[in-house]
Structure formats: structure tokens, C-alpha cells
A and B are shown apart, each in its own frame.
Chain A
């Protein structure tokens, strides 16, 4: 079945780095854009970043631009999020999610498959 599994979360000190991974299965990974979305404790959802299906284009939220970098390895069905210069406000559950892509030539900009998330805690 279609599945996304995140890993790499943990406790890290402010200013340090962490790399998250998202392993995909059950669908043709190289055909889909992929997102990261985060959720701070007790809060709502915040979109973080998107990478196109082939890695040729990437988009970031202003809150992470210049600190976070998206990449993907389509041969390994894996998405990555390199997080540098981490701050306390980056503390959250990080979800990877699949972009819904095209349906009958329409693009809906929805996120149709989600992983279970990995927790990142930035604290000294």
C-alpha cells in the first residue's frame, strides 16, 4: 500500500543540524512532488517546503528559507530535509506528504498521502 515513513528526528541543541528522511513505498516516487509540513506542540499545521518530482525545483516557507534544504533520491525512493541553524521555534512534528499532482489535467495543490511524522525538539 502507499506509505511514507519519516525518520531522523530527535533532540538537538539550538544552532545545530539535523537531517530528516522520508522513505516512500507503494507508488512511483519519481512521479510526485513531495512536501514537508510541521506541527508545533498543540498547534496547527505549517507548510515547510516542496520539491518537484524530479528535484528540479524547490520552494520553502520564509520561516526556513536559507536554513533548510530539500533533496530527494528517486532511485532510493527517499526524500530528505537538511535542517541547519536550528531554533527553538523549529520544535515540531515533521510530516512528509505527497503532492496530489495532476488529475485529468487539473492541478489541485493538495497533499494526499501523509507519513506518521518524526519529532524534532530543539532545546539546550
Chain B
């Protein structure tokens, strides 16, 4: 069974700083099948990145995704106040699996 491990669990940063979030898979993932979501308190998740590096409709270009194989990264180049949230990675292998999430909080 595929397991996605996200790190760090919590990232404490200031607005304007760069955020780098990691998602490591227990087995190799087809890059096309790796996505990232943002979730704010009390809200539904929102698709940010799919196909490892493709931005979803309406997502600002400060969000970028990269990686291949078992290691994937979500980068937020300059944090805006609205970016403080929880981020989940997701993959498809034989079914859909989510990572446990990384919380990006204001330092």
C-alpha cells in the first residue's frame, strides 16, 4: 500500500518568505498522478497543482510543484497572508492516497 509522508509537519514562516514542502512516497509515483491541495480551517480542500507541476485554474504563479519518482516538492515563492493553511499531497497508484498534511503557520 502506497504511503505518502509529508514534511515538515508544521512550517513557521513570515509573510514574504519562501515555503518548501516535501512529499515522499513509499513507492515510485507516476508524476502525472501527483497533486497538491490547500485547505483552510472550516473550508474544503482546493486543488493547487496536478501532474506534479501543473497549476490548476486560477492558482497564482507563486505556487509551483516539482519532483519525480518518490520525492515531490510544493514551493510557495513568497508567502501571502492568505497562504497560511494546511497543504496535502495526493497520488494515484491503485487508488487515491493523501499525505497527512503540512501546516504552514505564521511565525
Given known pairs A44-B88, A45-B88, A100-B50, the reply for A108 and B100 (CB within 8 Å) is no
Residue contact B44 to A61, C-beta cutoff 8 Å: no
Contact-residue bracket for chain B: 20 to 34
Known: A44-B101, A95-B44, A117-B44. A112 touches B95 (CB 8 A): no
The answer for the CA separation of A15 and B47 in the assembled complex, in Å, is 34
Residue of A nearest to B88 (CB): A45
Given contacts A108-B33, A110-B90, could you give 6 more A-B pairs where the C-beta distance is less than 8 Å?
A47-B98, A107-B32, A108-B50, A111-B90, A113-B47, A114-B45
Question: Residues of B with Cβ closer than 8 Å to A?
Answer: 32-33, 35, 37, 43-47, 50-51, 54, 56-57, 88, 90-92, 95-101
Q: What are 11 contact pairs spanning A and B, CB under 8 A?
A: A35-B96, A44-B99, A106-B51, A107-B32, A108-B51, A109-B91, A110-B56, A111-B47, A111-B90, A112-B47, A117-B44
